[in-house]
Structure 1
Amino acid sequence: MRVPARPVSEIRTLVEALPDPELPVIGLGDLGVIRSVAPGADGVLEVEVTPTYLGCPALPAIVSAIQQVLTAGGHPDGRVRQVLTPPWTTDRITAAGRDKLAAHGIAPPAPAHGDGPVLVQLAGVLCPHCGSRATRPHSTFGPARCQSIMRCTACHELFPHLTAL
């Protein structure tokens, strides 16, 4: 028995709510990796995804989760398409997404504000534990490829920092 097709708006809501496999505290929508959810030229529902970087190891899990939503939502022929241009940047993270990251001890990058050169941040990254900017890099390698580890010199806590792209 075929499942009745749910409206595109419902599918988009479900897809955007899927947790990121590497940062499960944030949904794919708030992370800014979902470009669109719309019928393609042939009428088949298509989800466009922009990975956080080429070679993202979480991409197969993301595609699989989206495909499950499409099938359960009555769109078994739906497809997931990678869109690489323009590339994803941390500016695509929503304000709600930044708040969720900070609430879970992950310092989000500051918005880049425009297409100009990347500005060097003179003040430290805001510590998600105590709010201090007295932070410094601890390790370029974090719990995921897109994260580094920072140390707060005020509260002495280590915390992951989502690397600006």
Structure 2
Amino acid sequence: MVTAPLDVRRARRVAEGVPDPELPMLTLADLGVLRGVEMTADGTVVASLTPTYSGCPAMAEMRADVAARLRGAGYPRVEIRTVLSPPWTSDWITEEGRRKLAEHGIAPPGAAPRGPVPLVLSPTRRTVPCPRCGSARTEETSRFAATACKALWRCLDCREPFEYLKEI
């Protein structure tokens, strides 16, 4: 018989391996949205997820994928909880996740803003290094890409387009 602490660790490993539906090169653990996995006294596995932003359309898929993976691994009772506090920030993306993003041609986000966000009425210029050649000579071509959490950029040196995962 497997003891509960080993069983919950196994359940956590299963949940950590679930890929993000919009960024499949990342797991939910890489992205930092898997907040915890625990097991109740009756054997229910409870996985807690935090959405990357309010209204994220991928959240339903994340919940369904984690539940399906856990059930497929032999856990018949699964509960998925949504945790909103503290809110997710792009700082929660692991170093491994940032490496995977860059490896797949997506510029990882910079540091998330801290404290009050100043109101700026003119466009701000941020530097987003090219994930392919590393050049800082890049420009934004569209504030939104395939998903609302990404923007389209291009490198002025290697001329390659790339996506940028926005910081939150």
TM-score (norm 1): 0.87
The aligned residue for residue 7 of structure 2 is 7
Letter in 1 for 2:115: G
SS at match of 1:7: helix
How much does 1:72 deviate? Answer: 2.0
Counting matched residue pairs gives 160
How much does 1:43 deviate? Answer: 5.5
2:153 matched to 1:154? no
Matches of 1:74 and 1:47 in 2, distance apart? 15
2:137 matched to 1:138? no
Q: Are the equivalent residues in 1 in contact too, given 2:40–2:46 (CA < 8 A)?
A: yes
Structure 1: gaps (5+ residues): none
Letter in 2 for 1:59: M
The aligned residue for residue 29 of structure 1 is 29
Task: Tell me the alpha carbon deviations over residues 36-75 of structure 1, each in whole angstroms, 9 at most, x when there is no partner.
Answer: 0012476622000001111111111111111112212332
Task: Tell me the alpha carbon deviations over residues 106-160 of structure 1, each in whole angstroms, 9 at most, x when there is no partner.
Answer: 00112338x4356998661010111001111110110111100011111111100
Letter in 1 for 2:133: C
Matches of 2:141 and 2:41 in 1, distance apart? 49
Residues 164, 65 of structure 1: alpha-carbon distance in 2 compared, 3 angstrom cutoff:
same
Matches of 2:66 and 2:76 in 1, distance apart? 11
Structure 2: gaps (5+ residues): none
The aligned residue for residue 127 of structure 1 is 130
Residues 118, 99 of structure 1: alpha-carbon distance in 2 compared, 3 angstrom cutoff:
farther
Greater Cα shift, 6-15 or 76-85? 6-15
Letter in 2 for 1:127: C
Letter in 2 for 1:112: A
The aligned residue for residue 167 of structure 2 is 164
Greater Cα shift, 147-156 or 34-43? 34-43
Matches of 2:144 and 2:24 in 1, distance apart? 19
Task: Tell me the alpha carbon deviations over residues 79-125 of structure 1, each in whole angstroms, 9 at most, x when there is no partner.
Answer: 00000111111000000000000000000112338x43569986610
Greater Cα shift, 115-124 or 101-110? 115-124
SS at match of 1:150: strand
Greater Cα shift, 64-73 or 120-129? 120-129
2:89 matched to 1:85? no
CA RMSD, aligned part only?
2.2
SS at match of 2:107: coil
